[in-house]
Structure 1
Amino acid sequence: MKNPPFDDRRRQQFLCQELYEKTLENSRALLQVQLKNKESAEFADDISLAHHFLYLENFWIWMLDYTAGVPIEKLAPRLSDIVDRFSEWNEADQYRQEEILSQYPEYGPYRYRAAPNFGDLSDYEDTLQLLSIAILLRDQRSVMRIIRILRSHRGQDGLFEQLTGAYVDDEMTLDTCVLGQPYDTLLQTVYESDEDAAQMLIKKYLKQWYPAMKDHPRWYNGHLRISDEGYAPYYGYWAFEAGAMAFVFDLDDSGIDHFAYPTDLVAYGRTLREENRYTSIDRNDAGDVGHVEGKQSCRDTDFRG
């Protein structure tokens, strides 16, 4: 069957075919430059920065392809490579941290801390998106790798704990997020006894989400910043974490119609779950994958928002 026209298959209206092709070409060129920079880098800080760039640029290319309407079946196997890049950045950043502490011993000995800083909007949102996509793709190996990398961040953020709680043996319940709003709004959904009220909170979160991204230095309003060469820092505006929460807690999202909500990706994950299929299974937990999804909301807790 012949592919439909680009404008019919794209997932957001802000992307035209020329912008997609130019942005993809530019991103691939940037990757080649950064690969050379990584090879020539001598200092731990420069090496970490190079790996961070390589991870994010590969991730944004994935999102650009998703926005352009590339079928999810083709996108799903590519996520594990992006998690590889995420892991490589984290490993390089450990050497950076060790180098800093060797220069400033008054800060104490090195202790493992994952590279993403949850107090930074860009780091937090990018990491949340990566985790959420892995959850929606039922890519269990990638989910578990991300959780292991972020083990130093456990017990800090309520949304992260709710998204990952069913994948760990020591689930934690926190009633706030590191950055507060709008993430606290999304977290509140799991404490709603009424499903319509939970759906309204997701809608509220989606309404809050894009304005709250104004301090994201890379892609906020990227579709308006088209260069003379025809590319832009626009890869798609997606609140994947909203979809992941609806999926994990099996919330009704039939009434949600928002440009940033990944409707078809949530539906894809639900189909995989109904058919008991996975994109991948974590080899360290292959005998117990059935416990990881379909959480019940914390509707009998004493939480008060």
Structure 2
Amino acid sequence: MNKRQKFLTEARYVDFLVYSEETKEFWDHNTFESDSPEQEASLRATHFKNVALKKLLISYTGGVEISALEPMLEELIRNFERRQEMLALSEKTESISPLAIDDWLDEYEEFVQVASLCILLHRTDLLERFAALLDAAGYCGQDALYEDLLCKVLPDREDIDDWYHDVYTPLLQAIYADDKEVASDLLTEYCEQWYPAFKQAPWHDSHLQGDEGSYVGYWAIEAGTIAYLYGIDDSQIDHMVYPKDLVEYARSHAPTA
């Protein structure tokens, strides 16, 4: 295992991969406790979306080849679509979002992580499908980072000066900094304050739980995506949460004009 973060043990990595397969078999024969079949289907879809996301993240943390992440990302987007479909039936709201990115910081972070993976792996097709789920729920044109991530890849995005969560302020400032060195410094600042800002997230401090815990990796993937999209020098960034090799992969595999 050529792990990318020191907290991941081989036992934790192997156990999760085994679990990710066993949980499929278990829920083939069991049901979630719920008040209705629609709610049960929504809970089931949420569970498998969460497992797919954790599998992708722990695989990256565990050191798999970056190209091997693509089928996992495809599976994750399918699970997001299933989650949205089942949630809409359960809540009787057709255009409901699979993530409440305005209310919950950790769900916003999940959005930018997944969107960033689509961008860095050059899967515009998956990004279109993922963004469509949240656009349809009314998030289009509401948040600056949301739009700044998407506008370099998807057409007809909006220019907006407001954003939902203060933690992303240095990242947004890096995009618009006039001085290249200042932009790099802001990117570093963002990485340094990223983990403390998520102390309320369910995954915070999960590395302290040992091999039986829920740790899959701590990654500010969106920081790398902003560096890639906006040409910010990240050569001096040496922070655990910064996905440097993902950015290098994106640059080396960028489509030619």
**Correspondence for 1:46:** 40
SS in structure 2 of the partner of residue 215 of structure 1? coil
**Correspondence for 1:212:** 197
1:202 and 1:238 map into 2 onto residues whose CA distance is 14
TM-score, length-normalised on structure 1?
Answer: 0.77
**Correspondence for 1:63:** 57
CA-to-aligned-CA distance 1:16-73 (integer Å, 9 cap, x gap):
2122212332343334434544689643233212211101111101111110101112
**Correspondence for 1:169:** 155
**Is structure 2 residue 72 aligned with structure 1 residue 87?**
no
1:159 and 1:235 map into 2 onto residues whose CA distance is 25
Structure 1: where are the runs of 5+ without partners? 1-5, 99-109, 277-289, 291-305
**Correspondence for 2:68:** 74
CA contact 1:37–1:50 (8 Å) conserved in 2: no
1:179 and 1:35 map into 2 onto residues whose CA distance is 39
**Correspondence for 1:159:** 145
CA contact 2:87–2:96 (8 Å) conserved in 1: no
Supply the AA of the counterpart residue of 2:178: S
Give 1:157 deviation, angstroms.
Answer: 1.2
Supply the AA of the counterpart residue of 1:121: L
1:136 and 1:25 map into 2 onto residues whose CA distance is 27
Structure 2: where are the runs of 5+ without partners? none
SS in structure 1 of the partner of residue 237 of structure 2? coil
Give 1:210 deviation, angstroms.
Answer: 0.3
Supply the AA of the counterpart residue of 1:246: A
The ranges of structure 1 where at least 4 consecutive aligned residues each deviate by more than 6 angstroms after the TM superposition are none
Supply the AA of the counterpart residue of 1:234: Y
CA contact 2:147–2:160 (8 Å) conserved in 1: yes
RMSD across aligned C-alpha pairs, in angstroms?
Answer: 1.9
**Is structure 2 residue 223 aligned with structure 1 residue 242?**
yes
**Correspondence for 1:145:** 129
Give 1:187 deviation, angstroms.
Answer: 1.2
The aligned runs of 1:104-253 (5 Å cut-off) are 110=93, 112-118=95-101, 119-151=103-135, 152-180=138-166, 182-217=167-202, 219-226=203-210, 230-253=211-234
TM-score, length-normalised on structure 2?
Answer: 0.91
**Correspondence for 1:284:** none
